[in-house]
Structure 1
Amino acid sequence: MKKLDLRAGYDVYIDNSFNVCLLLDKRKKYLYVIDEMVDALYSRYISGEKVIVGPGEKAKDMSTILRIYDACIEKELDRGDFIIAVGGGSTGDAAGFAASTFKRGIGFINIPTTLLAMIDSSIGGKTAIDYKGIKNQVGTFYDPFIVYMDTEFLKTLPTSEIKSSMGEVIKYAVLSRSLYEWLDNNLNDVLSMDYEVIKDMIEKCIKIKVDIVNQDKTDRGIRTHLNLGHTIGHALETHYDISHGTAVAAGIYYESLVSYRLGILQSKKLHCIIELIDRCGLKAQYHLDKELVSLMSHDKKNVGGKIGLILPEDIGRVRKVLMDEKDLYEILKVPAI
């Protein structure tokens, strides 16, 4: 078990042998919130009371939160006890939200089981649930006590799940020139499921995120850069019911295209980004209509009725741009490259 040197304000461990029990205080009470598919595969490793939640966005519903509250009351958890999330990003979001609000905050431990959750949602202290069909409309900032990542979980994921998670890795690569260069040299090993290389990639992505979050904990400044690809990506995810990572990759494609058409991003750098998405085998182009663009009006980066986009200026540099919905649609309706 390796403890990462991150200065995140909480401990982050990376492992490959299901040793999380070594980190738990036997004097405390624990409630597991676990994804139903993870429970089916790993229930023999998890002893204790569980709340089993649906896969994906089904976990991020108020009815799930109420079930967790009920279990907390039944188990008589107090503020010194813990909710433990075991699952992907949605499971972590729901469990973290419940932990942050039950008795105004009890302990929270996050055990992400997907590559997407390991490199992104488990780090940074954001929790959220969906409301009225809109992603992440209700949430809190609440750090876990521990994040425990075990790469053994990744070995039971389908290759398609690993591939779709690369959307978030591409985001970090556009934000960091050094990661872009590393990924350019190591992508074939990642896609061929070399777990030592994947573990190295996870650490690199986490360090980029922690460095940004430490500068802007509450998402008012530089942390918004982590939403590269997410304004358009979230709309695509909702409209086409595609995976988050796939949607982010497509969002990066379109936001890079917008940046190029606004004269911000050079053609050469646009094609570098497109090539990276293509090498990951991720679909980038979708039909964008007015209905889809209107979904972006609910995005939390919006200001004064204008849609907030994080646009790349270069590999390793981005900026926030506000656009009218009509102007954005006019740019996006032009046939893609």
Structure 2
Amino acid sequence: MKLHVDLATNPYDIMIERGSLTSVGDWARSILNCQKIAIITDDHVASLYAETVQQSLETAGFEIFVFEFLEGEASKNLTTVNNAYDFLLENGLTRGDGIVALGGGVVGDLAGFVASTYMRGIPFLQIPTSLTAQVDSSIGGKTGVNTPRAKNSVGTFAQPKGVFIDPDVLKTLGKRELIEGMGEVIKYGLIDDVDLWEILETLDGSPESILEHVEDIIYHSCNVKRKIVVEDEFEGGIRMYLNFGHTIGHAIEQTAGYGKVMHGEAVAIGMVQISRVAEKKGLMPAGMTDKIINMCAKFGLPTDHKPWLVNDLYAALTHDKKASGNTIKTVIVPKLGSAAINQIPLEEMKEYLEK
């Protein structure tokens, strides 16, 4: 399967093919004309797939260097970025060389940020290995790292030269890591793709059912993001729809401590919470929150978080990138398969945090 991200300045393809990781070198050679490639990955993914990817890239004629960092959201910071810069300089990578992001969302965000800023920008490829990264974070060109005050508060827009998805790598994910990715998948069904929602309704929620239908899940999810990014690359309008559940979700991730609540879990909780209040305000149809709760619960995603500390969550929200002056943009689902932006006074956001 192939999807084309038809951007005016940097079009690229998303390749989706089971068992294709061993041929990644040929794909990379068709895109990059460089001598050196740095694979940026975490220590866990490196132990599983770095050797396979390195061998394939070397067979295609690239000189390969592998930079590893400690797995987890807590490593997605400027300290790790600086270590990566040092590694690239020590190994003589120039503006004419490239980077491969091999890993989940943390790796993709960080490696993309490094690529977009090193030497004022060098080409990079995404090889996502988690469901969250395959359906969401590897596509669209958002890069970023966390600070102690806010998630993804330092970042760039930088499109990859290509995205290479082998669904078979998901077989090595733990159950929690696989299910976590369904938070983003459910979001896509809610905001844009009724067909995807109907596919999800047919599944029994088990990891086995996810993996059996994962190619369709990935294709539908990537296609939603592709369409939205092509229309609104720099998040000036409808790309905000992709943030359904994220405003509260990011606050949960930060206040819980990075890595304690996984991203897709936080998105699920955020979708439920904002929908519950929006429904009470008449902004979403009656019963929509129950639909979301039931779908999330079927796949084993959390729909609540404890302790629920309203003041702490609100403080985190004031640093959210979607806040502007005294207002904040939230996303709601007025009907299944569509989304809308709801701009409210920042102070009113406290109401959306009340249980």
Normalised by the length of structure 1, the TM-score is 0.93
Matched AA of 1:32: I
Q: Secondary structure at the match of 2:334?
A: strand
Instruction: Give the conservation status (yes or no) of the 8 Å contact 2:76–2:110.
Output: yes
1:317 counterpart = 2:338? yes
CA distance in 1, matches of 2:246, 2:34: 41
Aligned to 1:168: 184
Contact conserved, 2:5 with 2:230, CA < 8 A, in 1? Answer: no
Match of 2:197 among 162, 165, 180: 180
Deviation readout 1:142-193 (Å, 9 max, x if unpaired): 11112111112101001111111111111101112232222212x3276324
Which deviates more from structure 2 when the two are superposed, residues 173-182 or residues 187-196?
187-196
Structure 2 vs 1, CA of residues 83 and 191 (structure 1 numbering), >3 Å: closer, same or farther? same
**What does residue range 277-292 of structure 1 map to in structure 2 within 5 Å?**
277-286=296-305, 287-292=308-313
Distance 1:218 1:5, change over 3 A: closer
Residue equivalent to 1:20? 24
**Separation (CA, whole Å) in 1 of partners of 2:111 and 2:126:** 8
Superposed displacement of residue 27, structure 1: 5.1
Give SS of 2:201's match: helix
Relative to 1, partners in 2 of residues 1:6 and 1:97: Cα closer, same or farther, differing over 3 Å? closer
Q: Residue 193 and residue 80 in structure 1: after superposition, are their counterparts in 2 closer, same or farther (change >3 A)?
A: farther
Q: Output the CA distance in 2 between the equivalents of 1:269 and 1:189.
A: 19
Rounded to whole Å, the distance in 1 between the matches of 2:319 and 2:49 is: 37
Partners in 2 of 1:288 and 1:253 — Cα distance? 16
The equivalent position to 1:207 in structure 2, one of 220, 223, 238, is 223
The alpha-carbon deviation at position 196 of structure 1 amounts to 4.5
Structure 1 runs not aligned, ≥5 long: none
Deviations 1:8-47 (A, max 9, x none): 5112112232121112338521011011101122243143
- Compute the displacement of 1:263 (Å): 0.9
What is the TM-score with the length of structure 2 in the denominator? 0.88
Encode CA deviations 1:71-122: one digit per residue, 9 max, x unaligned. Answer: 2222222222101111111111111111111111111011110000000000
> Residue 132 of structure 2 corresponds to which residue in structure 1?
116
* Distance in 2 (alpha carbons) for counterparts of 1:189 and 1:276: 9
Counterpart CA distance in 2 for 1:252 and 1:195 is 24
Cα distance in 1 for residues equivalent to 2:289 and 2:104: 31
- What RMSD, in angstroms, separates the aligned Cα atoms of the two structures? 1.8
The answer on whether the counterparts of 2:180 and 2:265 sit within 8 Å (CA) in structure 1 is: yes
Q: How does 1:13-92 map to 2 (within 5 A)?
A: 13-17=15-19, 18=21, 19-25=23-29, 28-47=35-54, 48-92=64-108
Q: What is the deviation of 1:303?
A: 2.2
Matched, 1:156 2:172: yes
Query: Does structure 1 conserve the Cα–Cα contact (< 8 Å) formed by 2:279 and 2:288?
Result: no
Q: Counterparts of 2:25 and 2:210 in 1: how far apart (Å)?
A: 27
2:2 is aligned with 1:3:
yes
**Corresponding letter in the other structure for 1:247:** A
